[in-house]
Amino acid sequence: MAQSSNHSLDIRRHSAPQDTFLAADVGGTHARIGLVSGQPDGSRPVTVLQYHRYACADWPSLTAVLQDFVGQLDHSVHVNRCAVASAGYVLGDAIVNDNLPWPVSIRDIRDSLGIEQLAVINDFEAVAYATQFLSQADTTAVIESEAPPAAGPVLVMGPGTGLGSAVLLPGHPHATVLATEAGQIALAPGNEREIEILRYLARDRAYVSFEHALSGRGLLNLYRAISSLRDQSAVLTQPSQVTQAALERSDEAAVEALEVFCGLLGSFVGDLCLLYGARGGVILAGGILPQIRDVLVASSFRQRFFNKGVMRAFLLQVPVRLMEHGQHGVIGAAGLFLDMHAGEGLPVGPRAGENAVPR
């Protein structure tokens, strides 16, 4: 059997609260599992007691991952509730998502682990919820605002195995999160080179979305398209290879692919800011951007973000910051799960905006 990650906190030296439950943040590459505690009335905010990060490819199913995690807990710890944050949607017994390495059966999780309450939550909805508890030190500035911080919607989006997007809407007694499928919006080229790339991508598909360019597979798509346009062989076969070659500047097509990736991202983020009126700012997340942070900051991202005609003045007031994924999906899934059972109670943690980024 695969070995679990050592990214963990040892609960066995502590007494676990009685209100513990499982929270899982499941992506195409990693499954992040936490034993968490918290009260739905807001008397105690979400606390992560134990945490593991698993490589999905090393495991036959999400049930097997959860069983391994539970098997490492102290025998006195019993959990019968679980919140699963995942991309995709629920159809009958299954979570449907082409980016996951295996199908997810809700019934199998319930039966195998004795789960009595199980909630399935959109993965970026969970990440967006967690951003209200970020501190300034948890993020890196990509674009600083020219105006003081403003209250309003916060756009949370980012490329990983797929392209996730959600909007945090401040409110009382707690924030609301709008889950979106913005990554499936039709790809909009912004210059002649991107028009050529779009033509290439459209050769074997009837519809080209932003996710076809802004994701791990999307970066590989860009690299293959640019290699063809350069009359070169596409020798790299994995997104990680394209990223590494671009950072090392060892492959010209990879270097251009990463620059196109950043430019398209800037244009897309600017569009979404206008669509949702994201006066509260933008939080960039996902698995790719922290790896290319310096390239992103130096790229055409900024110029393309502001290139919105008369709406440039609005975007100058919108800060853009980058966060590491870490445990935030687990925390967000747990918080949303508690909110579901809170009725008209108090928020799980600080009210939206109190400790939120951007600042």
Answer whether 177's CB lies under 8 Å from 167's CB: yes
Alpha helices in 7-137 (DSSP H): 62-71, 106-113, 123-130
pLDDT exceeds cutoff 50 at 280: yes
* Predicted pLDDT at 42: 55
Q: What is the pLDDT of residue 359?
A: 26
Share of the chain above pLDDT 70, in %: 89
∠ CA 145-150-153 to the nearest 5 degrees?
105
Burial code (b: 16+ CB inside 10 Å, e: under 16) for 291-321 equals ebeebbeebbbbebbbbbeeeeebbeebbbb
pLDDT of residue 6: 39
Residue 152: the pLDDT is 93
Give the Cβ contact number of residue 198 at 10 Å: 17
The rounded mean pLDDT for the chain is 86
Cβ atoms 51, 9 nearer than 8 A: yes
**Higher pLDDT among residues 146 and 106, named by residue:** 106
Q: Which residues pair with 140 in a beta bridge?
A: 322
> For residue 227, what are the CA distances in angstroms to 70, 211, 232, 253, 304?
46, 19, 5, 6, 23
Q: Do residues 26 and 61 make contact, with C-beta atoms less than 8 angstroms apart?
A: no
Residue 350 neighbours by CB under 8 Å, 6+ apart:
45, 132, 133
pLDDT bracket for residue 41 (50, 70, 90): low
- Single-letter amino acid, residue 202: A
Whole-angstrom distance, CA of residue 279 vs CA of residue 263: 22
* Overall average pLDDT of the 184-188 stretch: 97
Task: Give the type of residue at 103.
Answer: P
Q: Which fold has domain 20-123+326-340?
A: Nucleotidyltransferase; domain 5 (3.30.420)
Mean pLDDT, to the nearest integer, of 73-85? 88
Q: Is the pLDDT of residue 96 over 90?
A: no
pTM for the complete prediction? 0.83
List the single range of 16-30, 58-72, 154-168, 221-235 with lowest mean pLDDT. Answer: 16-30
Q: How confident is the model at residue 345 (pLDDT cuts 50, 70, 90)?
A: very low
Name the phi and psi angles at 243, rounded to 5.
Answer: -60, -50
